[in-house]
Chain A
């Protein structure tokens, strides 16, 4: 730590900005927006860490990455060791460094943020993970000796991957089952290339394969095989269900069946997983956005990802239609900011009430109503209510519905002895993530409802700890 400065000096260093692709240019391509920190910037940023004796940032991280320790290694120029340090707690550092809402987690807890600006922990995490990937020397943590116990993970999204990683370290034999043809869940089909390059996800999956984890794609648990069969016929000792909240919700307004009206899941799956944006080389089509009006309904990260994708597909106007105000938007601050820079138009305090089609059954307009915020509801947010008589029509060619998702019932419906709640989510104990069925654990969005990548990863870690205990003691 030869280079470290006294705290008084450290706070004087400004937070290093993230270099990014020019807004005009990037708005029309699918390449990554954020370019990553250069070595010099990463060094300066690491200098800003106060090396707190009791680091609040670690508590703010849902998987408990040893942030102070890895930042100290960055300061020493030991980037590979820094990456390995992160991997002790986080199997997907290159991913989380890019997609976590750090302002609400580690960086939100950073003491520097109280008076100055918080340490750019996400950018540093990303820096070391990218460095590690470029050198190809991946600091995979060591596995415990084989226990001979078999664990099935259902779903290969962030919760499943993080659980699989931890269980493999404990020496268990882990198989991950995925319904789609590629591993990664929302990291692959949901979050677009320009925010999370798919090669990075694939790289992390390869690392996990090197840790001995078996991945089986094209297996729909509930259809191809049931939970009971995993125990009885395939001899698994425990199962972790991490199927996410992938059931799209629609608005249930007239005209939703029209051509050009998509769920965000469908639109993003076509664009990201099936690469519809590269129509020369891939076969899955997406409804034409070029030179057309595209609107996304919703104010979360999925809405931002969809609208920015539509922009990149050449939309003339790309709108966000959101029934509350910008302050209430659940999307990550950086994404809203990026979307605006790229030319996305925001119709806040608006709500669609009808989609209007032409004689071929294709969308041509949307009827909107203006909204105002009333009294706060149970969630503490001011309830949006329509302003009578404010309806108007707007020409529209493509509408993408991003108003949330629910629990996909495929696993639950074929596992009747596992308790679910009235919304179809699996009931699991808060601490142990045990379900009502012996040997079955559940976590991530299928328990909590749609949340973030890192919270799902946190649930995966908790599940791994709990599964490990169960496998070691045999007690339920």
Chain B
């Protein structure tokens, strides 16, 4: 059992957890991930380690997109997670490369962040570009500000920072004559693919962190296999970071949609159960007004 020592909402449906997992905290390096399982009926899902501390805690940032992540996001400080295993995967290649552009899209920002920190510490000049749909969904602004030489914020609707996509900002940097040694892009697959397209013609080395479906995360099943440079690689042990110019993004998109129906069904079932339990809470509130506020507070927490 791994206790949650802190849980806080960063944006709608995006939650930060600090989890006590001393073995993971001690060994983890930027770019690595954990696999978690909430309870004995749960599935195993991979999540990137955003940070760790000396008290044996790791930080993960979770976006609620399906049953398991939405379920996870209902947990709070004091709750436990049944299984946390890691650190898994290869660490990011870190060094003093000159100017490094770190791009995070959506919750991918949480994955890009530890690498930005490590790059900065290693002496690289770090320009961070963060993309979000709108101001509300923007995460880790202060943290990235602290670790970047330059921080560019892009929102799709222009509600904060500049209006536009991360690729536009990247193009701007290239156009203004920045000598970019490498780009690290993490976010939705279409975003990573678009970044790869921008940098390919300029010959700028570009690294992406891939997010295929995983089961064990230790190289024993090959469920996470991706096509890189025409070869099959296991993202959990060979990656998750790969050269963006060699990745077959189309196959990744196809493989990630394999369980769409089952995922949808599982989510619907979960949400209707959540709804049921809320309804009974409402009934309880109605019949016993004195316990109402307490239950209400809990479900909103």
Contact = CB atoms under 8 A, between A and B. Distances in A.
Contacts of B44: 181, 274, 284
Contacts of B43: 274, 282-285
B216 interface: yes
Given A181-B37, A266-B223, A408 B83 contact: no
A415 interface: no
Contact of B27 (A223, A283, A284): A223
A81 B6 CA distance: 53
Interface residues of A, number: 39
Contact of A223 (B67, B86, B232, B257): B86
Contacts of A259: 254-255, 258
A181 B232 CA distance: 27
Grouping DSSP codes into helix (H, G, I), strand (E, B) and loop, the B interface class, with mixed when no group exceeds half, is mixed
A283 B23 contact: no
B5 interface: no
Given A225-B27, A361-B251, A361-B255, A217 B221 contact: no
A250 B222 contact: yes
A263 interface: yes
Task: Name which of B24, B37, B68, B218 has the most chain A CB atoms within 10 A of its CB.
Answer: B218
A279 B82 CA distance: 20
Contacts of A224: 23-24, 27, 85-87
A263 B219 contact: no
A285 B66 CA distance: 13
Contacts of A408: 218-220
Contacts of A353: none
Given A269-B216, A281-B41, A257 B87 contact: no
A181 B85 contact: yes
B86 A220 contact: yes
Contacts of B87: 223-224
Contacts of A362: 254, 258
B80 interface: no
Interface string A190-230: 00000000000000000000000000011110011100000
Nearest to A226: B27
A7 B225 CA distance: 60
A245 to B, nearest CB: 10
Contacts of B251: 257, 361
Interface string B197-231: 00000000000000000011011111101010000
Contacts of B225: 257
B48 to A, nearest CB: 15
Nearest to A179: B218
A220 B41 contact: no
Contact of B68 (A223, A263, A283): A283
A250 to B, nearest CB: 7
Interface string A386-412: 000000000000000000000011100
A424 to B, nearest CB: 12
A204 to B, nearest CB: 19
A287 interface: yes
A81 B42 CA distance: 40
Contacts of B27: 223-225
Nearest to B66: A283
Nearest to B88: A223
A248 B42 contact: no
Task: Name which of A218, A287, A362 has the most chain B CB atoms within 10 A of its CB.
Answer: A218
Q: For chain B, give the interface size range.
A: 35 or more
Nearest to A180: B216
Contacts of B262: 279, 285
Contacts, number: 111
Nearest to A218: B85
Grouping DSSP codes into helix (H, G, I), strand (E, B) and loop, the A interface class, with mixed when no group exceeds half, is loop
B232 A256 contact: yes
B189 to A, nearest CB: 14
Contacts of A250: 222, 232
Task: Name which of B68, B82, B215 has the most chain A CB atoms within 10 A of its CB.
Answer: B215
A344 to B, nearest CB: 23
Nearest to A246: B220
Contacts of B216: 179-180, 269
Contacts of A283: 41-43, 67-68, 266
A39 interface: no
A301 interface: no
Interface in B223-270: 223, 225, 227, 232, 237, 250-251, 254-255, 257-259, 262-263, 266
B130 interface: no
Contacts of A223: 27, 86-88, 218
A247 B219 contact: yes
Contacts of B82: 181
Interface in B66-120: 67-68, 82-88
Contact of A285 (B23, B85, B259): B259
B219 A269 contact: no
A336 B103 CA distance: 54
A399 to B, nearest CB: 13
B86 A274 contact: no
Contacts of A115: none
Nearest to B270: A283
Task: Name which of A181, A217, A283, A410 has the most chain B CB atoms within 10 A of its CB.
Answer: A283
Task: Name which of A180, A287, A408 has the most chain B CB atoms within 10 A of its CB.
Answer: A180
A287 B258 contact: yes
A265 B219 CA distance: 10
Interface of A: 179-181, 217-220, 223-225, 246-248, 250, 252, 256-257, 259-260, 262-263, 265-266, 269-270, 274, 279, 281-285, 287, 360-362, 408-410
16 contacts: A180-B218, A220-B88, A224-B24, A224-B87, A247-B220, A248-B221, A250-B232, A259-B255, A265-B221, A269-B215, A274-B43, A282-B43, A283-B266, A285-B266, A362-B254, A362-B258
Given A248-B222, A282-B41, 13 more contacts: A181-B85, A217-B83, A219-B85, A220-B88, A246-B219, A259-B255, A259-B258, A269-B216, A270-B215, A282-B42, A283-B41, A283-B266, A284-B44
CB-based closest 5 A-B pairs: A361-B254, A266-B221, A283-B43, A218-B85, A285-B262
